[in-house]
Amino acid sequence: MIPTITPEQITAFREKGYFVLENVFTREEMETLGGLIEAHHWQHEQRLKEVGTEGISRAGEISFTAFLAEQDEGIRRFVLRPEFVHIATTLLGPDVDLYWNQSVFKGPDGSAQFPWHQDDGYTPVTPSPYLTLWLAINDATPENGCISVLPGSHKGGLRPHQQTPLGLACHSLDDPDQGVMVPVRAGSMAAFQSLTVHKSGVNRSQGFRKAYVIQYSQAGLRNAVTGERIENRIALARGGQAVSA
Ligand SMILES: O=C(O)CCC(=O)C(=O)O
């Protein structure tokens, strides 16, 4: 369903750095997408079992499986759906590329939060901020490790990040300000600015928490440090219209 983005949501995106788009996809659509993603996730998890950790992925705890749309025709068709053309062109302007996409699965009975960070902290790009859509494949709740955000934190620009054993961090998990939890039902998504500081909680449930993080940017993105063009991105829209796959 093409979502209506209200003026209040656009204001929240500008001022607080995030909002939730409810029920963009059905649970059945999420089961189908989840099935496509799981094939890649389990392959990755198998490799993780052998090596223990890879980047910020840790076997059995949290795994980030990237470039899914680039590898899988069904997932590629999904990220080019008209719902995303509408959302991304409304929030970013008429010329949009898929910048990054990854599933993030948190394993059951976890013990760790994923640290507070800005997405630009991993790779600073220009123009910034870009758009992160955190799509829940299954319900993301306070119990199973939904994300939290620091409202308004995108306004201060890129913060310094420290390397921690769990990932980059720009705000302490011990700080009294632990932001606002953003529970998201399956098929709904949190839309946030790539500079909005966010984390995810511990998965204390008995099941996996499954998300698909889809990031769109204005076309022609560059690495903010080297100035080099970020090449080979899938085009989503030009002149406000879908680019046919
Ligand atoms: O989904 C999560 O647990 C954290 C994901 C995240 O923060 C990210 O992909 O930037």
Output the pTM of the full model.
0.97
- State if residue 119 touches ligand 1 by the CB under 6 angstroms criterion: yes
**198 Cβ inside 6 Å of ligand 1:** yes
Kindly report, residue by residue over 6-56, the tens digit of the pLDDT. 999 999 999 999 999 999 999 999 999 999 999 999 999 999 999 999 999
CB of 168 within 8 A of CB of 198?
A: no
The finding on whether 210 has its CB within 6 A of some atom of ligand 1 is no
Amino acid 103: pLDDT: 98
Sheet bearing 198-200, strands edge to edge: 114-117, 198-200, 147-149, 180-182
Rounded to 5°, the CA angle 197-216-135 comes to 65
CATH architecture of the domain covering 8-153+161-242: Sandwich (2.60)
Residue 245: predicted pLDDT: 59
Residue nearest to atom 1 of ligand 1 (CA): 104
- pLDDT tens for residues 69-79? 999 999 999 99
Distance in Å, CA 239 to ligand 1 centroid: 30
Task: Give nearest CA residue, ligand 1 atom 6.
Answer: 199
The CA 141 to ligand 1 mean position distance, Å, reads: 14
Does position 214 have pLDDT exceeding 90, yes or no?
Answer: yes
What is the pLDDT at residue 197? 98
Q: Is 137 in the pocket of ligand 1 (CB under 6 A)?
A: no
Nearest atom of ligand 1 to the alpha carbon of 132: 10
pLDDT at 244: 73
Domain ranges of the chain: 8-153+161-242
